[in-house]
A and B are shown apart, each in its own frame.
Chain A
Amino acid sequence: MTLVGPLEEPVSVRDSVSELTAASSYRPTGNPYVDDTPYHRPLDADRLSRIKWDQPLTEEGLLSDDSLVANRLLMNIYESDALFLPSGGLAGKEKQFTEFYGRKARLHSDLVRPAVESYVFDSLGSDVRINGRWDCDALEAHVLAAIDEAVNGDRPALRAIEEAADPRRAAEMMIAQMALDGLTEATAMSQNLGGAYGPEQSEVFKIFIDEFGYGVFDAKHSTLFVELCRSVGMSTEPHHYWFYYLPSWIAGNNYFYKVTRNRSQFFRYIGGMAFLEATFAPSFAAMTKTYRAVYGDGIDTRYFDEHAHIDQHHGRMAVYDLLLPLARKHGDYAVRELLRGIEDVRALGRLNDADLIGQLSWRPEVVTADTGRDGQDEPCEIDAGTPFETMISDHDMTVSVLDGTAELHWSATGGPLEVAAGQAVRVPKGRLHGLRAGAGATIAFTRSPARAGS
């Protein structure tokens, strides 16, 4: 795939992605957690170089390793448009700051963004067809039915936390996913505050100022999220848990950047946002119950409680003061796009649940390695200097450690599983995991397809 760059020179997506990943902001690290800087977001240049950008992911493919690396790239592209300053001050990080927001990074980000968006999102909702002559009455009936289904449906992710062998680890893995939005809440929404689009612009602003705590920093939703993290001993720095984001959750966050960044998708944004706002209040009330059950009184649930209250209003406002007035005023095109936004977000919600529940349900265990496979699989070697990475297995497989001791990282908190020489661990298809050698150790391991029943 080629793009037209400055001075009309054709530039390949691959070349621009390669330029981006070579930047210091995206350099690899040996640490399984990103240190206290908002400007360091490791990208795996090798895996990105193998992506065929002109062959979009399928909807199911949003759960894959290709989705993981492509969505990390896309998130960086979007977030380099938003301002991050280190909580401890800029001193000593000036070079990181200027490189992250530098002209070269900006240029390559702008060049590849449409292709990466297309790769990630073109198939989203492709199995949903919107047929027939829709009008505002039908739209209202559908959005109310979709909200009712979500509000009164099961909450399998919360149930998975409650039933997990280690509920705290599971609860914190979900907080890590929510941090994608929680620590920068309403940044995507802010992209639609400008312009001139009538009374609905003021309705968006009303919701936005609630998100921003009416200018009171301590009441800002992202501040409440920070306090939630702090109360359970989690990092409050954006992207500290960079390696533990699940691909569909990054995609869900990226979706809202995509539909706010691309103005022609404004109605999709409103459809998706209104649907979510109208379902949040009971969802967050249920989260308070689950997290109280896990942590007792020690957790600061004001983030959940604030949404359980204010989103009763935001849901009504987003549907009756935004979605339906926009549909009445702007006609058929708007109605179909609003519907598409609702269906896109419902599809992402299904993927988010499947992705998270799969990860929470996996509890890796050490077993004795199968020596019968010796010599059949090409061994890999890593040492303490090897960059850390997490990836998604594309099939059930077994990681066998031949020499040294490996750390298997599979959740944002709770520590890794140690796998010694002669031991193995099974990694099911679709599960996020990363391997690391202990200090001073060199480990050799193999990845092989899991045997049936193993």
Chain B
Amino acid sequence: MSARVRVELEWPRHNAVRAGDETYFFLERAGSVHLIHSRCPHRGGPLHLGEIEAERLRCPWHGSTFRVDRLCDRAVPTIQRGSSVVAYLPADAGEAVPVQQIVFAS
């Protein structure tokens, strides 16, 4: 039994993954796409609806900001080949579904 949930996505047709109550969204930097957990560590705000200024992502709820490069470093592990992306979510993420939804953070 793998300790990870594998999900195959096609960027940019999919720009997020829904897994149970959690959302993970794609952030593209220099041709690489990073799958980032949308839950703000402060109060759980939706980071995918935040905005990026000066390479920092601002949470739309309370304005906490996070360095984009650090978010990318801590992103979900993925292998990207062209538009094909395979992600390995935490095992407790539940069933993972690739989706296209509103994402402001880009």
Contact = CB atoms under 8 A, between A and B. Distances in A.
Nearest to B91: A137
Interface stretch (A73-81, A125-133, A284-292, A438-446): A125-133
Interface stretch (A94-102, A138-146, A418-426): A138-146
Interface residues of A, number: 18
Contact of B88 (A127, A129, A141, A343): A141
B34 A141 contact: no
Contacts, number: 69
A21 B29 CA distance: 45
Given A138-B4, A140-B3, A141-B2, A131 B86 contact: no
A134 B75 CA distance: 9
Contact of B78 (A127, A131, A137): A131
A132 B34 contact: yes
A339 interface: yes
Interface in A294-346: 339, 343
B6 A129 contact: no
A427 B99 CA distance: 46
A131 B88 contact: no
A128 B32 CA distance: 9
Given A138-B88, A142-B86, A142-B88, A130 B3 contact: no
Given A129-B80, A142-B79, 12 more contacts: A129-B31, A130-B77, A131-B72, A131-B75, A131-B78, A132-B76, A132-B78, A138-B4, A141-B6, A142-B77, A144-B2, A145-B6
11 contacts: A127-B82, A129-B33, A129-B79, A131-B32, A131-B72, A132-B87, A137-B88, A140-B4, A141-B6, A142-B6, A339-B79
- Of all A-B residue pairs in the complex, the 4 with the closest CB atoms, nearest first, are A132-B75, A141-B4, A137-B3, A138-B77
Interface of A: 127-135, 137-138, 140-142, 144-145, 339, 343
